[in-house]
Structure 1
Amino acid sequence: MTSSDWGDWLPRAVAEADPETVSLWYLGCNGFAIKGRDGTVLWIDPYVGTGDPPRTVRMIPVPFDPVDVDAADAVFATHEHTDHVHGPSQAPILANTDAEFLAPDDSLSVARDEESWTDEWDVDDEQFSEVREGDELRVGEFTVHVVETHDADATHPVGYVIDHPTGTIFHAGDSKPSPTFPALADEYDIDLGILAFGSIGTVPDKETGEPVRTKWYSDENEIVEAASALDLDRLVPTHWDMWKGLTADPTALHEHARSFEYPERLEVVEIGDRIEL
């Protein structure tokens, strides 16, 4: 585990914040800390690893050390990839706070079997809770709906529609446009949608090390297609900052989105930024 480049200011900022509605802190990659006005804190896909150089090379700072996190009611994972389920990033949060780890089955398999969180950290198996599409969960002041998404690179991805009395957030993980999105737009009035975005680049093959044309995230047209299908008021693109060879310029999305009714607004955030619902 690499030490934080920023000390403990980000976990302290989350712990000490007193939002009027809901505050979100972008953790880089696809991670967020979310805190409601009554003090409930959710973490989704927090990742502070450096990848697996030279194949995957982290291009942004490590914004916090998970041992400094002392405010968490639940940690959610969207799917099983290492930048979404990662023991050194997430298990210390569970150990410090007794928070639940909520994730689909294949993500829990990583935590339980591949990484043995309960052996390596002070984590109890009772802190693990499996989620399935269609579940409705109550965590403090938030109601979280587990929904189907589309990410062919993952074995079992899900998304989370997070309802709060002051508004609704959708975290889609690494989903590309999905046939389920128009129905989600009909069922939920989504104020802020979090969608992964990146370029198509070359990444060294795991076995040979040879560069391979790689597309892991929605491109400019796909992310706007997804945002439009979801009727998003605000689109927050993520993941564009993370991996060498797959980084992208999110400001380019203004030109792609301008002729569509949705999203109504593009909101570009950088690692460490705080935004309000």
Structure 2
Amino acid sequence: MINDVNIKDLDRQKWINNVFPEWGTFLNEEIDNTVVEENKFKMWWLGCTGIWVKTPADCNIIIDLWLDTGKQTRKFPAPPAWGQGKDFQMARMMGSKQWQPNARSAPMVIDPFAITKMDAVLSTHFHRDHIDPYVAAAIVANTDAPFIGPKYSADMWRKWGVPEERITVVKPGDSVKIKDVEIVAVDSFDRTALITAPPAGDIRGICPSDMDDRAVNFIIKTPGGNLYHSGDSHFSNYFVKHGKEYDIDVVLVSYGENPIGCSDKVTSVDCCRIAENLRAKVLIPFHYDIWSNMLADPKEIELVYNYRKDRLNYKFNVFLWEVGGGYLFPDDKGKKRFMFERGFSDAFEEEPNIPFKSFL
């Protein structure tokens, strides 16, 4: 208890150990204890495009879970692990000499080393906020789950030490069946992944190369409905084809506020266009939460949606989430906003033990 602490016993390492991840195992426990009823699926938003999906057969899948961080210092040059300044992928894409001021904004809501059950780890592409060595280390150590993604993601897992027999490379059209889930890889429309070729000599190769090696989108077909995870895809007319070929219930779209000279995130208008083209029933934006230099207000999507829905006869609903929150389909199909459990529903079942009446 904090009341029993003596500051002489505290130091930076104890602070790190006691405080991070900020949510501890709070969400791990919720997910472990959740039983999904037949003909439903549940998912949790873990920050950025990280999603945990759970089904009636207790199939647990994580997609793009990233638990690393962004900028931690303004002192450059920084460690060269990912490249900084003019060598950083976003700077090279825009022809900029500046480093990207992308501090992490979303909290760490999950403890990867407390994950005890996992049936598959998915990565849509190789960018640093969609694939994670800490997650890989925890899953390899504690589960038998396979790692599923395009070639470039597989190359990174392999480089980090994920056993070869646990890596499955997929391209559009491939599918993997696990318990009561079918994971279908479809085309990605992530122009940033296509043009941000890593520097020469990197394991991910140099531009140009086939998009299918770099990135895929995933359709998670569950007994309760189909989830479309679009990774970092931008708008494409080809979404119409996916909408005709698959019955999409929920689509997740990477929304954000683009810096000057950059078109990395999907705009509010194109979020709605993607949902419309996919014939989705629910549009959920994500990714706008994670980077301090690309933070966006998802209420803008609501404004666009409400302005256009009657004239364009939209058939989908917009749902605005919170990191760490759950979403149950189809029960939450008509919901507009997420709210965490507020607690104290049993208030006054016992006599309050503080002299509150003196303040009335």
Is TM (by shorter chain) over 0.5? yes
Find the residue that maps to 1:43 and give its secondary structure.
strand
The amino acid of 1:163's aligned partner reads K
- In structure 2, the partner of 1:94 is 140
- In structure 2, the partner of 1:52 is 71
The amino acid of 1:171's aligned partner reads H
| Distance of aligned partners of 1:29 and 1:200 in 2 relative to their CA distance in 1, 3 Å threshold | same
Give per-residue Cα distances to partners, 1:171-216, cap 9 Å, x unaligned. 01010112321011111111111110000126xxxxxxxxxx4332
Structure with the larger helix share: 2
The amino acid of 2:176's aligned partner reads L
Correspondent of 2:231 among 156, 159, 173? 173
CA RMSD of aligned residues (A): 1.5
Identical-pair percentage: 29
Question: Is 1:255 aligned with 2:303?
Answer: yes
Correspondent of 1:28 among 12, 23, 47? 47
Give per-residue Cα distances to partners, 1:98-125, cap 9 Å, x unaligned. 1111010011112223xx2x2xxxx422
- In structure 1, the partner of 2:89 is none
For residues 176-187 of structure 1, the aligned pairs below 5 Å read 176-187=234-245
- In structure 1, the partner of 2:252 is 194
The answer to whether the 8 A contact 1:11-1:70 is kept is: no
For residues 142-181 of structure 1, the aligned pairs below 5 Å read 142-155=181-194, 156-181=214-239
- In structure 2, the partner of 1:242 is 290
The amino acid of 1:235's aligned partner reads L
For the residues of structure 1 that align with 2:156 and 2:102, how far apart are their CA atoms?
19
The amino acid of 2:165's aligned partner reads E
For residues 4-83 of structure 1, the aligned pairs below 5 Å read 4-20=21-37, 21-53=40-72, 55-83=101-129
Question: Is 1:135 aligned with 2:174?
Answer: yes
For the residues of structure 1 that align with 2:138 and 2:125, how far apart are their CA atoms?
19
Structure with larger Rg? 2
For the residues of structure 1 that align with 2:288 and 2:319, how far apart are their CA atoms?
13
The answer to whether the 8 A contact 1:224-1:263 is kept is: no
Find the residue that maps to 2:130 and give its secondary structure.
coil
The answer to whether the 8 A contact 1:196-1:237 is kept is: yes
The amino acid of 2:190's aligned partner reads D
The answer to whether the 8 A contact 2:22-2:107 is kept is: yes
The amino acid of 1:185's aligned partner reads G
Correspondent of 1:230 among 267, 278, 284? 278
Correspondent of 1:275 among 327, 332, 341? 327
For the residues of structure 1 that align with 2:122 and 2:241, how far apart are their CA atoms?
23
For the residues of structure 1 that align with 2:145 and 2:238, how far apart are their CA atoms?
30
Any runs of at least 4 consecutive aligned residues in structure 1 with deviations exceeding 4 A, and if so which?
Answer: none
Instruction: Identify which range, 250-259 or 135-144, moves more after superposition.
Output: 250-259
**Structure 1 residue runs without a partner (length 5+):** 203-212
Post-superposition offset of 1:91: 2.8
**Structure 2 residue runs without a partner (length 5+):** 1-15, 75-100, 195-213, 330-360
For residues 89-128 of structure 1, the aligned pairs below 5 Å read 89-113=135-159, 116=160, 118=161, 123-128=162-167
Correspondent of 2:263 among 212, 215, 226? 215
- In structure 2, the partner of 1:207 is none
Give per-residue Cα distances to partners, 1:215-246, cap 9 Å, x unaligned. 32101112111111111110010001110110
For the residues of structure 1 that align with 2:21 and 2:325, how far apart are their CA atoms?
16
Post-superposition offset of 1:263: 5.3
For the residues of structure 2 that align with 1:183 and 1:262, how far apart are their CA atoms?
18
Aligned residues: 259
The answer to whether the 8 A contact 1:235-1:263 is kept is: no
The amino acid of 2:229's aligned partner reads H
